[in-house]
Structure 1
Amino acid sequence: MIHILITDDQTLMRDALQTIISLEEDMKVVGMAKDGEQALELVGSLQPDLILMDIQMPGMTGIECTKRIKQLYPDTVVLILTTFSEDEYIVDALACGATGFLLKDMPGDRLIHAIRDAVSGHYMLPSVIAAKLAARISRVSQTTHTRLEAGRRKTDNPAFTTREKSIILLLLEGKTNRQIADLLIMSEGTVKNYVSSIYNKIGTNDRTLAIIALKEWLHNEPSAH
């Protein structure tokens, strides 16, 4: 028997879902909540196998409620009920532990199949939402690639000043900012500013990556030797 908790701020929606589910011999609605706060209270006492969770509710949203429930009861399956297919909800809900999305206008028989599949461990993503998610992943991948390429171009031929080149040689010798300041008769603060400028030109604030990039620059820059 699949024990189900329905969470939705609309009474008609809760009642409609309960009616559909009650027709199935292997399912039982053990409780209904009108908002996220009530759902949190009920899930502890009712221990449902699956929660049908509305995404937009007054007070605590379905996404926040899902996050808290999964933290407290990680084995509870949560399916997000939504009339929204905006991609900003998709990643947030999945990241909070939801097993998938169900559109509220889907046919009753598909809802029942989706519940069974979700309890069996399958992720549920209607095609319209899957397409949105794929598009978002593609945009993120494209943006990341563009940034990496920009960073790579930035490090190909960085334009270092004579002073920066002197500091780079000392950095590659393993000298600290204090030692560089003493050797070049500068304040440590001034050296830090130069080092920040050098790091900015090669596109990283990570010292290890910076040293690797600077060694490569030195290898390709005879005038720096």
Structure 2
Amino acid sequence: MNDSPITIVIADDQTLMRDGLQTILSLEEDMNVVGTADNGLQAYEVVGRLRPRVVLMDIQMPVMNGIESAKLIKKDYPDTTVLILTTFIEDDYIIDGLMSGASGFLLKDMPGDKLTHSIRDSIRGQLMMPAAVASRLAARLTQSANGGMADWGAQRLKAEGIAFTEREKSIIALMLEGKTNRQIAGTLYMSEGTVKNYVSTIYSKIGTNDRTKAILMLQELLKDG
């Protein structure tokens, strides 16, 4: 197991928020805040200089906002995990954040222990989606499907030549709610290994093995064309 500390950059235009996060994270033996930034452009520059494993990225910042900064970071430093740190759960922020390549959202008022657990989970490849954010995303996807998820955007799927089994549809619905493979397994009374196999098949059908990209692509497939 890799025992090197998780290097972190905090980007937020509020000094109190940056200092508070740094204090919380400094208490963790496996985490090390190596830099901070008070705007999106500075965050991009700090990441280029320090190459952290994780960036905690505020959305609304001067000079360059967090969404644009995240896009640049993921383009030039794709191995860096970006987590959007926000008080906002508006639909557009959720979609834009995922499209920027972010690995999920962390709400600013979440407890410190959940924050640190989420950071650890994110570097293991899990998509971080608090319940409040996941419910908004699910509602947005349901609305955009024009008639609900039940029809699964049949016309679009046929046009793309993609079809899902009923079991795959059940798993996709839970993926779109932000659930992990383990949570899906518990919900559907399946083994986690079986869920992973189904998810791999879904990824293969839509041509990606990245969970964030898969969710965005599945969202598009749910829309009536």
TM-score by length of 1: 0.63
Q: Does 1:41 align with 2:45?
A: yes
What amino acid does structure 2 have at the position aligned with 1:61?
N
After TM superposition, list the pairs within 5 Å mapping 1:40-79 onto structure 2. 40-79=44-83
Q: Does 1:80 align with 2:84?
A: yes
Structure 2 Cα separation of the partners of residues 110 and 7 of structure 1? 19
> Could you list the per-position Cα deviations for residues 121-178 of structure 1 after superposition, in whole angstroms to 9, with x for gaps in the alignment?
1110110100000011111111697x988xxxxxxxxxxxxxxxxxxxxxxxxxxxxx
Query: Higher relative contact order by CA 8 Å / sep ≥ 6: 1 or 2?
Result: 2
**Alignment counterpart, residue 13 of structure 1, candidates 10, 17, 35:** 17
Structure 2 Cα separation of the partners of residues 41 and 123 of structure 1? 25
CA RMSD of aligned residues (A): 1.9
Consecutive unaligned residues in structure 2, runs of 5 or more: 156-225
TM-score by length of 2: 0.63
Structure 1 Cα separation of the partners of residues 122 and 12 of structure 2? 19
Q: Does 1:120 align with 2:124?
A: yes
**Alignment counterpart, residue 110 of structure 1, candidates 107, 110, 114:** 114
Structure 2 Cα separation of the partners of residues 73 and 23 of structure 1? 27
Instruction: Give the drift of 1:87.
Output: 1.0
Q: Does 1:4 align with 2:8?
A: yes
Number of positions where the alignment pairs a residue of Structure 1 with one of Structure 2: 149
Give the corresponding residue for 1:89.
93
Give the corresponding residue for 1:197.
none
Q: Which has the higher helix share?
A: 1
Q: Does 1:101 align with 2:111?
A: no
Greater Rg over alpha carbons, structure: 1
Structure 2 Cα separation of the partners of residues 52 and 65 of structure 1? 11
SS in 2 for 1:142: coil
What amino acid does structure 1 have at the position aligned with 2:70?
T
Structure 2 Cα separation of the partners of residues 92 and 103 of structure 1? 16
Structure 1 Cα separation of the partners of residues 27 and 135 of structure 2? 32
Q: Percent same amino acid among aligned pairs?
A: 60
